[in-house]
Structure 1
Amino acid sequence: MSAQGREPGHNPFKSFKLSIFSDKLSDIIATSFKAFLIIIFILTSVVLVFHSFFGSQTRWWPRYPDTLLNTTTTRPVCVDPSRTENPTNLSHIVFGIGGSTETWSHRQKYSRLWWRVNSTRGFVWLDEQPDPNSTWPENSPPYKVSSDWTKFRFSSSQSAVRIARIVSESFRVGLPDVRWFVMGDDDTVFFVDNLVTVLQKYDHEKMYYIGGNSESVEQNVLHSYGMAFGGGGFAISYPLAAELAKAMDGCLDRYYNFYGSDQRIWACVSEFGVSLTNEPGFHQMDVRGSAYGLLATHPAAPLVTLHHLDHLEPLFPNHTQDESLNTLIQAYQLDPARTLQQSVCYYKNWGGIWSISISWGYTIQIYNSFLLPPDLQTPIQTFKTWRSWANGPFTFNTRPISPDPCEQPIIYFLDWAHEASKRESLTSYKKFGAESPKECKGKVDYRRTVEKILVSAPKMDSQEFAKAPRRQCCEIENFQYGKMKVNVKSCGL
C-alpha cells in the first residue's frame, strides 16, 4: 500500500508504543494496590496477635448479662499433679445455713448438735435482725442478715430468693483458705467428720456440685433428678462458688418462676455445664412416718446429713426426737465412719437359721429364717412418700412388713456405746418389746430369749470410702443367758 493510501497523521508505531505504556501503567497500579492490601493485612494480623496475648481477654461471642460463659475464676482450676498440700479438713469448709428469725427459735437445737465452736466456720443467714433483747447462743453458728433480696421478682416464694443468694453472699464474706461452701437448712443435722471424708475424695480446684436427690420420686419429677435438694445439704467447690457469686443475681431473674432456692441454684450451676455429683450420704428425708427402714439399711457410704426430722417419728422408740439424736450422736462420736453401716451374718441353731442385720450405732434385726443379703439390704417400708403420703414410688426398692409374725424381725435398738480400746468399740442393743412380733405359731421361736446383743467392731478407717466401698459382715461369737456377742469384720475373712 502506498503512502498516499494512509490516513494523514497516523503513525502505527506510535500507537503501539502508547498501548504498551498504558498496559504497563495498569499493571504497576494493580501490583501496587495488591502490595498495599498485603501490607494492611499483615499489620492487622500483628496487632490482633499482640492484643490476644497481651491485651484484655475479650470474648467474641454474645453472652447473657450477669452470667459467666467466661469461666475465668480468681484461682486456677487446673491442678498440679505434684501438689503436696494438706488434705481437706473442717477448717476448709464454710457453712451457709438458711434460717429466719421465725424458725430459728425452735430449730437452733439442730445446729447445736453439730456446730463445733472454734472449729467450724460459717453463718446462719436470717431475713432480719434477731430480737436485740435476746442473747445469741455461743454454741450456735454466728448469724448474718441477708441483703438486697427483696428487689428480685418471684412467682411463689420470696424467701427462696434470699436463701438462693446465700452461696454468693457467703463467698463475698471473703473468709481465707476456703475450699468448699456447704449449704443446708436450719433443721439440717450435719455429721461433719463424714462430710470431710466425702469432700476429701474430690479436687477442690475443679468445679463440683455435690449432694443428693429426694427419696420420693414425685419430688424429683416435680423439681429435678439433677438437683441437689437443699435440706439434705450440698457442697460447692470454691471455683464454682466464685462464678456463682458473679452470676447468681442474673440467674434469679431468669429463673424467677422456680419454686425453691435449691432449684434456682441448680439452674444457675447448669449454665456452667456442671452436673450434680450424687453422694448417697446426703439425706433429704422426703418421707413421712418412720425413717426406721431407711436408716436400718444405709448404703456403704458415710452418713453426712439428716433433714426433716421435725416431720418424722422419733428415731428411737420411747424417746423424743431430741433424745433420739443425742443417742445416735453418742455412737457417731465414737466411730463416725461406721455410723449406720450395715453388716450381715447368720446363726445356725437348734431352731433353724437366723438372719441378722446390724445397722451400727442404731439397730439390729433378727429374722427367724434365711434371708439372702440382697433382701436384708432392701429397706422395710416403714414410711410413705413426702407429698402424697402414698406407698411409693421411691428412688430405691422397698419390701413390705410381712403380716406373718414368723417373718417379722425382732428389733433391737442401741442402748449404749463405749470405747473398748483406741482401735475398737463396743455397743449394746436392747430388745424393743413393743415392736416384737406376736407369737410365731407352728414354729419354735428361740429369738425371744435374746434380750441383749453386744457388738464388737474395729474402728472404721474413713479412707475405706475413697477406695471401693464394701459392706462388712459379722459373726456370732457366743450366745448364752439371753446375751449374744457379735463381732463385725470384713466379709470373706
Structure 2
Amino acid sequence: MSCARSKTLHDHPLNFGKFLTRAIDVFPFAMKTTLALCSVASISLIFYFAFSNRSHNFPPHPNVVTDFNQNGISADGHEKTNISHILFGIGGSVESWDKRRSYTELWWKPNVTRGFVWLDEKPSPSMPWLETLPQYRVSEDTSRFKYSCPYGSRSAVRMARIVKESFQLGLENVRWFVMGDDDTVYFPDNLLSVLAKYDHNQMYYIGGNSESVEQDVIHSYTMAYGGGGFAISYPLAAELVKILDGCIDRYDKLYGSDQKIQGCLSEIGVPLTKELGFHQLDIRGNPYGLLAAHPVTPLVSLHHLDYVESIFPNLNPIDSVKKLVSGYKVDPGRTVQHSFCYDLRRNWSVSVSWGYTVQLYPFFVTAKKLETALQTFWTWKNWDARLFTFNTQPVSSDPCERSVVYMLDRVESVGGRETLTTYKRYNIDKGENDCIRSDYTHALKVEAFSVSAPKFNPDLWNKAPRRQCCEIINGTKGADRVVQVQIRSCNGFESVTPP
C-alpha cells in the first residue's frame, strides 16, 4: 500500500455514484437490493428536509419568547404579563411599619400595583393609614404552630403564611405572588421584565441567594432570601397552600419564613430559579462596589438599607434610594447597568454604572478587572472581607491605583427617547491622600461626566445578555472639565479590548 494519503469520498464528491456502482457489482443480490433501497431512502430524506421546511410551520423552541403586539396581546390571544398580574405580600408589623413605610412609598404606585401589608395586629387609631400606601391585612393567629429555633422569632411562622393568606383572598387575574419585607425596595418595572420571561402557567420559584457565604452556609444555598424578595407562580402557590401548614410544623426548627417556604417547595420538588437582580444585601459597610459593578441583569430589589452605609454619600438611606429611584423612573431597565470604554488619546479607562456612578482610571484597565466589584463592604455576620458569592477585588491602598469617583447629580429625559445623566466628582480621599502623579493630576481636572444614552428597550432582557458599549466623545468644548460619554448597543463584532 502506498504511503501517500489515500483519497476518500470527500476528496472526490462527484465520484460517489461510480463508487456505489462498483460496490454493488461485487455484492450479492440481497446486498445490492438493500443498498439500492437505502440509497433511495437517503435521497428521499435529503429532498424532504430540503423542501419541507418551506411549507411547514414547525413549533418554536420552548425557550423562544412569544411576540406581542403594541397592546400586549400575542398572536394566539394571550395577554402579556403586566404589573396588574403581580400580587405583593409585604411582611410587616405595627412596631416596624411606621419607621419602614418610607421604603414602600418609594416604589408603591396607588391604583397600579396590587398587594397588601400583612401586620401582626390592627393599627391603633393614632397610626393613620395613608392612601398612597398599600392596604393592610391582619394575619391570622399562628399560636397553634410549632416554632423551636432557639435564636429566631415566632414571627417567621406568620410571615411564611402570607403566601397562603394572599392566595386565599381569591383575587382575580393573579399570575405571580411576590413576597418581601417592609424594608424591601422593589423596582417594579424591572421585576416585571424578569417575571415576563417565564411561563406563569408553570410552577416557578424565583429569587436570589444571600451575598455572604456564611449566611448561605447557615441558612441555605437553595432558597430565595425573603428580604430580597421572591416570586411564586400561581400554579405553584396553589400546590403550596395545600401542604403549607403541616410543612411549617415539620420545619419548626428552621429560623426564617423563607427557609420554611423553601422546605415546603422542596417537598413539591420545585427548585429555586436564581435571578441576580434580587438583592438581599447581606453585607456591612458601603455597598458602592456592588452597585458600581452590577451584573448584566435588571435591578429588581434592595434590602437591608438601614444596615449599610447610604448608597449616595452625604444623604440618609431614604434620600439615597430616592435619588437612585429618580433615575429608575426615567429609564428603569438601564438603572445601574454597567458599561465601560477607553479614551485612547488620554489613555483613560471609564466605567459607568448608569444612574449611579462613573469611575475614571487615568490608565488602561482590563475588562475583567472593571467588571469585578470593589471590596467596599464586609460580610453580614462576621465582617469578613473575603467570603462572598460573587467575585470581588480589594480597594488598593495606593491612591494612584484607585479611580476618580463621580456620583449621580442629575437625570434628564431628552425628547422622550434618550436620557442625559450628569455625574459630579466626589472626593473620597482628600488632601494628602491624593495621587500626585502627572497622569492622575490631569484626570483630577475633570469635574463631571455627561452621559447620553437611548432609553433602554426592556425587550432586550428576552435576548442573550450582553453588556452595552460606550464611547468617549473627544474634541468638545470644555472636554478637560466635562467629559462626554455615549452609551449604545455594541456592534456585531465589537469588543472592549485595550491596546
- Specify if TM > 0.5: yes
Structure 1 gaps, min length 5: 1-79
Q: What is the count of residue pairs matched by the alignment?
A: 412
Offset, 1:481: 4.7
- TM-score when scaled to structure 1? 0.82
- Cα distance between partner residues in 1 of 2:297 and 2:306: 24
The answer as to 2:482 corresponding to 1:487 is: no
Aligned-partner residue type, residue 164 of structure 2: S
The answer as to 2:435 corresponding to 1:440 is: yes
State whether residues 362 and 439 of structure 2, in contact with CA within 8 Å, keep that contact through their aligned partners in structure 1. no
CA shift digits 1:445-481 (9 cap, x unpaired): 2111100110000001111111101101110113525
Aligned-partner residue type, residue 434 of structure 2: E
Structure 2 gaps, min length 5: 1-65, 67-73, 495-499
Which one of 401, 406, 411 corresponds to residue 417 of structure 1? Answer: 411
Equivalent residues in 2 for 1:352-431 (5 A)? 352-431=346-425
Which residue in the other structure is 2:155 paired with? 159
Offset, 1:111: 0.5
Equivalent residues in 2 for 1:32-431 (5 A)? 83-156=76-149, 157-349=153-345, 352-431=346-425
- TM-score when scaled to structure 2? 0.81
- Cα distance between partner residues in 2 of 1:152 and 1:215: 31
Which structure's CA Rg is the greater one?
1
Structure 2 vs 1, CA of residues 320 and 123 (structure 1 numbering), >3 Å: closer, same or farther? same
Which residue in the other structure is 1:8 paired with? none
- Cα distance between partner residues in 2 of 1:219 and 1:344: 32
CA shift digits 1:341-388 (9 cap, x unpaired): 000101123xx5111100000000011221111110000000000011
| 2:306 aligned counterpart, secondary structure | helix
Offset, 1:403: 1.2
- Cα distance between partner residues in 2 of 1:220 and 1:116: 33
| 2:228 aligned counterpart, secondary structure | coil
Aligned-partner residue type, residue 435 of structure 2: C
Structure 2 vs 1, CA of residues 239 and 436 (structure 1 numbering), >3 Å: closer, same or farther? farther
| 1:380 aligned counterpart, secondary structure | strand
- Cα distance between partner residues in 2 of 1:423 and 1:363: 22
| 2:449 aligned counterpart, secondary structure | strand
| 2:486 aligned counterpart, secondary structure | strand
Offset, 1:246: 1.4
- Cα distance between partner residues in 2 of 1:440 and 1:341: 29
- Cα distance between partner residues in 2 of 1:122 and 1:322: 22
Aligned-partner residue type, residue 380 of structure 2: W
Offset, 1:260: 0.4
Aligned-partner residue type, residue 316 of structure 2: T
| 1:475 aligned counterpart, secondary structure | strand
Offset, 1:149: 1.2
Aligned-partner residue type, residue 260 of structure 2: R
Aligned-partner residue type, residue 485 of structure 1: Q
State whether residues 292 and 336 of structure 2, in contact with CA within 8 Å, keep that contact through their aligned partners in structure 1. yes
| 1:263 aligned counterpart, secondary structure | helix
State whether residues 91 and 162 of structure 2, in contact with CA within 8 Å, keep that contact through their aligned partners in structure 1. yes
CA shift digits 1:153-201 (9 cap, x unpaired): 1013210000000000000011111000000000000000000100000
State whether residues 410 and 436 of structure 1, in contact with CA within 8 Å, keep that contact through their aligned partners in structure 2. no
State whether residues 400 and 437 of structure 2, in contact with CA within 8 Å, keep that contact through their aligned partners in structure 1. no
Displaced runs of 4+ in structure 1, greater than 4 A? 80-83
Aligned-partner residue type, residue 484 of structure 1: V
- Cα distance between partner residues in 2 of 1:434 and 1:403: 13
- Cα distance between partner residues in 2 of 1:465 and 1:442: 42
| 1:309 aligned counterpart, secondary structure | coil
Identical residues among aligned pairs (%):
55
